């Protein structure tokens, strides 16, 4: 008995052909999901719950076959997993050949015919189903006896195409058997097993730590699985994700357990030797329909390619492009010994991207899979850098990430807990235990949240009068042994003022309530405004003498202006004369100021003049003790920056300020005060020789 399953978008011609077949062959019985919906819900337009529709589909099919009538199942059947589940059930019927009929009606034609229907299907639904069919078109390996394509635009009518192909069924079956008799079958020659393996690789790459996510990342479990789900084992969690992300047809726990072991044995999970052949079991010949990777050779090429991309992402050679670079590397590793470029391109288009192993966007600088964007060697280097930062910077967020990273690196045996620390960052850390509970330094995660969301915060400063003010936080910055908050003021005459302040010197004005931020009147601004203000803040900081950015927003905007004349109004030129020893340091780059704001006299090292003549363009001073000039153009507020003053005092008598006069007098006054203070003996009287 021949029974038929129609596959195609809404308005592709399925129901019309079903009716025509029944007119020509009255024994046929049509099982239509549209009619079932009308029966169950009173209107075929009501989609309803598939769990209610599917049992009725099976009941009607069983009734007709039991009565000896051939069946036409008229539905879209656009998703492969649903087709496979359907055929798992239908193939229990003995003596029934299930033929698939794929309506390849162009999308534009479907949309046009849909306009002429009494019950129109939303266009987005038709487009979504067309995309699903394009991604995974029906093939015999899903469980069909065979699959035929029907072309509504062909010269012959659909009923003629149908009748001709049914009449040639036996011959087409023999032809297929002849094509597949030389296939070397293996563990994953069946489509269901192959697809389950591909989706499992996708899950492992997309959700690192899957199997323990309910403990390590419960938010992701809640998002994918839903509330209240508790898994008893790692395998149960993986199966839960498989059912939600792919389909229940792939969520076979015993099969997945075998797949995981196979992936580990073949280096997809854990350490790998790229040149190793795959451990595959040869399976006996079978009449079961094949898929594109049922033969050992293409399957081995595919898996070895996946293994190479996972362990060595972003393989790319200049002048070759991404695909050819990968081909060259496969040949260099002796993984292929033939020109596999076209085959590899199909691997990418037909498997690696559709199953989510590679991202869908174009990759012009090498392929990468899931979150595997670094090789093992690169991963170890990044871990060592994070380890150094997390231990010394006393950042709780970095520490949390580091601890997770450390646990996984040691579990994967990429690093050892007893390794010698080659790099280090050491500085005097503040004691966070003595800080207020509302200190920003103790609540960096909440501050980061406010930055990302563009939220307005009400803060209090630990300066003498503890002023309260409103800011849009822009960035958390580590500078000179301390963490700072970069912000934009939003209060009174200071509105728009950009500034930097140490995190430990700032408090939330209101106590944090259950981790929620004390927002100022609930105000938030678009994320487009944040980058603009941040870029302005960074420009001011980089051009200033330290972290003090002034107290006048109008002056800041003048300095940021593209109009040079406006900028010059708030600039000041500072000239220092240096002795030989200090000039060597300054001229070789040990100053920290942007090059465009500096001018110097000629350096000792003449090599520095190459390409830098405009930088070293000043004449010498003529002063034998301080013969070298160093000229800076800074925002005028830098004259009042204690940090800039400290920088000059750091020259310790090996430099003198020539201009401006106000700065020279201020530094001289500060220096005299220091000298006066140091000359007083704490026990009374002055220090020094009697």
Mean pLDDT of 196-220: 93
pLDDT at 392 > cutoff 60? no
Paired residues of 575 in beta bridges: 631, 659
Q: What's the CA gap between 238 and 8, in Å, rounded?
A: 32
pLDDT of residue 90: 93
**121-135, 272-286, 483-497: least confident range:** 272-286
- The segment with the largest mean pLDDT, out of 346-360, 609-623, 642-656, 660-674, is 346-360
Burial 208-225 (b: 16+ CB within 10 A, else e): ebbbebbeebeebbeeeb
Mean pLDDT of 130-152: 94
pLDDT of residue 404: 77
pLDDT at 34 > cutoff 70? yes
| Cα-to-chain-centroid distance, residue 431 | 35
pLDDT of residue 678: 79
Mean pLDDT of 30-49: 88
pLDDT at 643 > cutoff 50? yes
Q: Per CATH, is 564-676 categorized as 3.40.50?
A: no
Mean pLDDT of 392-405: 68
Q: What's the CA gap between 419 and 238, in Å, rounded?
A: 33
pLDDT of residue 419: 62
Q: What is the pTM of this model?
A: 0.68
In this prediction, residue 689 has a pLDDT band, given cuts at 50, 70 and 90, of very low
**Smallest Cα–Cα separation from 90: which of 135, 117, 60, 123?**
60
Helix (H, G, I), strand (E, B) or coil at 430: coil
pLDDT at 67 > cutoff 90? yes
In this prediction, residue 422 has a pLDDT band, given cuts at 50, 70 and 90, of low
Percentage of residues in the chain with pLDDT exceeding 90?
42
In this prediction, residue 235 has a pLDDT band, given cuts at 50, 70 and 90, of very high
- CA angle 487-489-493, nearest 5°? 155
**Smallest Cα–Cα separation from 146: which of 318, 288, 323?**
288
Q: For the segment 526-580, what is each residue's pLDDT rounded down to a tens digit?
A: 778 888 999 999 999 888 888 889 889 999 999 999 999 999 999 999 999 989 8
Peptide bond into 521 cis (omega under 30): no
Q: What's the CA gap between 490 and 187, in Å, rounded?
A: 65
Percentage of residues in the chain with pLDDT exceeding 70?
90
pLDDT at 522 > cutoff 80? no
pLDDT of residue 434: 62
What average pLDDT is seen over the chain? 85
- In 68-168, where does DSSP find H-type helix? 80-90, 107-115, 123-135, 158-167
Is 434 or 320 the better-scoring residue by pLDDT?
320
**93-94-96-97 Cα dihedral, nearest 10 degrees:** 100
pLDDT of residue 430: 58
To which residue do tokens 């991963």 refer? Answer: 379
Is the separation of the CB atoms in 506 and 459 below 8 Å? yes
Strands, E assignment, 364-413 = none
Strands, E assignment, 579-646 = 598-600, 628-635
pLDDT at 453 > cutoff 90? no
- Look at the alpha carbons of 409, 414, 418, 419 in this order and tell me if their dihedral is positive or negative: negative
pLDDT of residue 394: 60
**93: which DSSP letter?**
S
Q: Indicate the CATH number for domain 2-180.
A: 3.40.50.300
Is 394 or 177 the better-scoring residue by pLDDT?
177
Q: For the segment 318-346, what is each residue's pLDDT rounded down to a tens digit?
A: 888 889 888 898 888 888 877 888 999 99
pLDDT of residue 191: 96
Q: For the segment 500-518, what is each residue's pLDDT rounded down to a tens digit?
A: 988 888 888 764 444 444 5
Q: For the segment 181-195, what is each residue's pLDDT rounded down to a tens digit?
A: 788 999 999 999 999
How would you class 174 by CB atoms within 10 Å of its CB: exposed for 0-12, middle for 13-18, buried for 19 or more?
Answer: exposed
Q: For the segment 82-137, what is each residue's pLDDT rounded down to a tens digit?
A: 999 999 999 888 889 999 999 999 999 999 999 988 888 999 999 999 999 999 99
pLDDT of residue 493: 85
pLDDT at 590 > cutoff 60? no
Residues in CB range of 427: below 8 A, 6 or more apart: 392, 481
**269-283, 427-441, 459-473, 647-661: least confident range:** 427-441
- The segment with the largest mean pLDDT, out of 361-375, 438-452, 649-663, is 649-663
Compute φ and ψ for 654, nearest 5 degrees: -100, 10
């Amino acid at each position: 008995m021949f029974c038929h399953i129609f596959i195609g978008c809404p308005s592709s011609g399925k129901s019309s052909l079903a009716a025509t077949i029944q007119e020509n062959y009255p024994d046929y019985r049509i099982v239509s999901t549209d009619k079932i919906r009308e029966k169950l819900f009173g209107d075929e337009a009501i989609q309803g719950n598939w769990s209610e529709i599917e049992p009725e589909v099976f009941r009607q099919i069983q009734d007709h076959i039991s009565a000896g009538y051939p069946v036409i199942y008229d539905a879209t059947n656009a998703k492969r997993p649903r087709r496979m589940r359907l055929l798992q059930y239908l193939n229990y019927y003995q003596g029934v050949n299930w033929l698939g009929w794929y309506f390849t009606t162009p999308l534009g034609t479907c949309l046009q015919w849909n306009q002429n229907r009494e019950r129109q299907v939303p266009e987005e639904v038709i487009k979504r189903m067309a995309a699903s069919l394009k991604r995974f078109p029906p093939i015999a390996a899903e469980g069909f006896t065979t699959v035929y394509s029907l072309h509504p635009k062909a010269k012959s009518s659909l009923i003629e195409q149908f009748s001709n192909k049914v009449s040639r069924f036996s011959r087409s079956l023999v032809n297929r058997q002849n094509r597949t008799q030389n296939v070397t079958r293996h563990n994953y020659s069946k489509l269901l097993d192959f697809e389950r393996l591909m989706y499992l690789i996708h899950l492992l790459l997309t959700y690192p730590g899957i199997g323990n996510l309910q403990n390590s990342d419960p938010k992701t479990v809640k998002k994918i699985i839903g509330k209240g789900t508790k898994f008893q084992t790692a395998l149960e969690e993986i199966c839960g994700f498989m059912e939600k992300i792919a389909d229940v047809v792939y969520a076979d726990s015993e099969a997945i357990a075998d797949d995981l072991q196979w992936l580990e044995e073949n280096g997809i999970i854990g350490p790998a030797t790229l040149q190793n052949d795959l451990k595959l079991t040869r399976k006996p010949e079978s009449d079961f329909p094949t898929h594109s990777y049922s033969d050992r050779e293409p399957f081995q090429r595919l898996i070895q390619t996946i293994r190479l991309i996972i362990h060595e992402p972003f393989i790319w050679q200049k002048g070759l492009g991404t695909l050819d670079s990968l081909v060259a590397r496969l040949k260099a590793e002796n993984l292929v010994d033939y020109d596999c470029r076209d085959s590899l391109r199909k691997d990418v288009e037909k498997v690696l991207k559709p199953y989510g192993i590679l991202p869908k966007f174009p990759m012009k600088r090498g392929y990468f899979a899931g979150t595997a964007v670094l090789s093992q060697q690169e991963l170890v280097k990044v871990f060592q850098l994070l380890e150094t930062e997390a231990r010394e910077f006393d950042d709780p967020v970095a520490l949390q990430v580091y601890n997770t990273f450390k646990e996984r690196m040691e579990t994967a045996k990429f690093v050892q807990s007893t390794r010698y620390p080659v790099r280090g960052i050491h500085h005097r850390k503040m004691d966070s235990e003595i800080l207020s509970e509302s200190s920003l330094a103790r609540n960096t995660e909440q501050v980061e949240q406010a930055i990302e969301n563009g939220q307005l915060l009400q803060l209090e400063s630990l300066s003498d009068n503890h002023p309260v003010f409103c800011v849009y936080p822009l960035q958390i910055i580590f500078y000179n042994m301390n963490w700072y908050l970069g912000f934009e003021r939003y209060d009174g005459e200071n509105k728009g003022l950009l500034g930097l302040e140490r995190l430990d010197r700032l408090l939330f004005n209101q106590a944090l309530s259950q981790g929620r931020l004390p927002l100022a009147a609930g105000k938030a601004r678009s994320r487009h405004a944040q980058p603009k203000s941040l870029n302005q803040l960074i420009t001011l900081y980089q051009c200033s003498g330290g972290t003090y950015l002034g107290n006048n927003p109008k002056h800041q905007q003048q300095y940021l202006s593209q109009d040079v004349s406006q900028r010059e109004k708030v600039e000041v030129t500072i000239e220092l004369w240096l002795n030989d020893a200090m000039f060597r340091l300054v001229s070789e780059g040990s100053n920290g100021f942007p090059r465009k704001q500096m001018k110097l006299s000629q350096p000792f090292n003449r090599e520095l003049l190459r390409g830098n003549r405009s930088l070293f363009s000043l004449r010498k001073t003529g002063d034998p003790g301080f013969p070298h000039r160093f000229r800076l153009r800074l925002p005028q507020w830098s004259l009042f920056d204690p940090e800039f003053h400290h920088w000059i005092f750091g020259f310790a008598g090996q430099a003198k300020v020539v201009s401006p006069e106000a700065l020279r007098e201020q530094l001289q006054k500060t220096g005299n005060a220091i000298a006066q203070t140091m000359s007083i003996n704490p026990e009374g009287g002055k220090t020094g020789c009697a």
